[in-house]
Structure 1
Amino acid sequence: MSRTAKPPGEGGEGAEDADRVRVDWRAAARTPRRDLLLRFAFGAGVSLLAAVVSALFGPFVGGVFLAFPAILLASLTLVAEEEGLTRAVDDARGAVLGTLGLVVFAVVAVVLLRHHSAWLALGVATASWGVVSLAAYGLTRTAGHRGASGGG
């Protein structure tokens, strides 16, 4: 995914377009192998750490480590290197907003799975995740946190 690099008003873009998130499917194919290996290594390392913590302190504590977004560390490092610290901060902010949605997903799933079918519970939980994450994004934009290309 990428964001437009032009400031608002340049190239015919309005303030709303300046912070629009776009998906570039070809970027995945252009990702250097070194970057992919780094992300894999971070993920494997955190998973290994979670397994060791689980063996030492039990599955509850180990589960907390599994929830740690291992790939985020590698991704933020690469983004900061290639696109600058401001872009990495934007990505970290997005991860926080997505995590808020993930917490809501977990709570809704736990409550609904006890009394309803898995399809219904997971469907509602997924919808809740999307609504909360998008609402949080909208609130941060309204509050003036428009990211690297939109000021704030």
Structure 2
Amino acid sequence: MELWHLDLSKLKQIRMKDYIIRFFFGGAISVIAALITQLTNGRIGGIFMAFPAILLASLTIINRKDGQHKAEEDAKGAIIGALAFVLTAIVLSLTLQKLSGALSLLLSLVVWLLCAFGLYALSYRSNWLRVRKQPSPQAANKEQQH
């Protein structure tokens, strides 16, 4: 059983419209976060910079194209990524004043990689993240006929 695989041929199947939706949705959230930062303070703006704009656009497209099950599987992976992101932000905020900026960013990157892949492996082993095969529409129709 494979943990994950990379299939670059799937990139050809993505429509330009889907890229445009992700681009504008992510860009709009970034602009709103920057405006909030200018009107308030950096900490509040940072909260909005962590808003998963691309995730929401992507899950909407995945749900429409591949169905709810596939969108749920991607959302589970996003939960793991968000947890790793939170731990990384904590490490960065604790080390930025004590270490040089470059060293603090490097340490945070290492923490993110360890957390993201570690949490992924743990959730995969617990079957929480394992992709379950959905019956094809043809198989579902045969079952209904019997």
Task: Identify the residue that residue 124 of structure 1 maps to in structure 2.
Answer: 107
Say whether 1:70 aligns with 2:53.
Answer: yes
Answer whether contact 1:87 1:147 (CA < 8 A) is retained.
Answer: no
- Paired residues in the alignment total 134
Say whether 1:104 aligns with 2:87.
Answer: yes
Task: Identify the residue that residue 8 of structure 1 maps to in structure 2.
Answer: none
1:98, 1:124 → 2: CA distance? 17
Paired residue secondary structure (2:62)? helix
Say whether 1:53 aligns with 2:53.
Answer: no
Say whether 1:144 aligns with 2:121.
Answer: no
Task: Identify the residue that residue 38 of structure 1 maps to in structure 2.
Answer: 21
Say whether 1:83 aligns with 2:70.
Answer: no
1:64, 1:148 → 2: CA distance? 31
State the Cα distance separating 1:136 from its structure 2 match.
Answer: 1.4
Paired residue secondary structure (2:127)? coil
Q: Which moved more, 1:139-148 or 1:93-102?
A: 139-148
Q: What is the TM-score of this pair, normalised by structure 2? A: 0.77
Taking every aligned residue pair, what percent have the same amino acid on both sides?
31
Letter matched to residue 53 of structure 1 = I
1:39, 1:31 → 2: CA distance? 12
Q: What is the TM-score of this pair, normalised by structure 1? A: 0.74
Answer whether contact 1:86 1:148 (CA < 8 A) is retained.
Answer: no
Structure 2, unaligned runs of 5 or more: 135-146
Letter matched to residue 53 of structure 2 = A
Instruction: Pick the structure with greater CA Rg.
Output: 2
Task: Identify the residue that residue 144 of structure 2 maps to in structure 1.
Answer: none
Paired residue secondary structure (2:99)? coil
Paired residue secondary structure (1:149)? coil
2:20, 2:36 → 1: CA distance? 24
1:47, 1:112 → 2: CA distance? 25
Task: Identify the residue that residue 4 of structure 2 maps to in structure 1.
Answer: 21
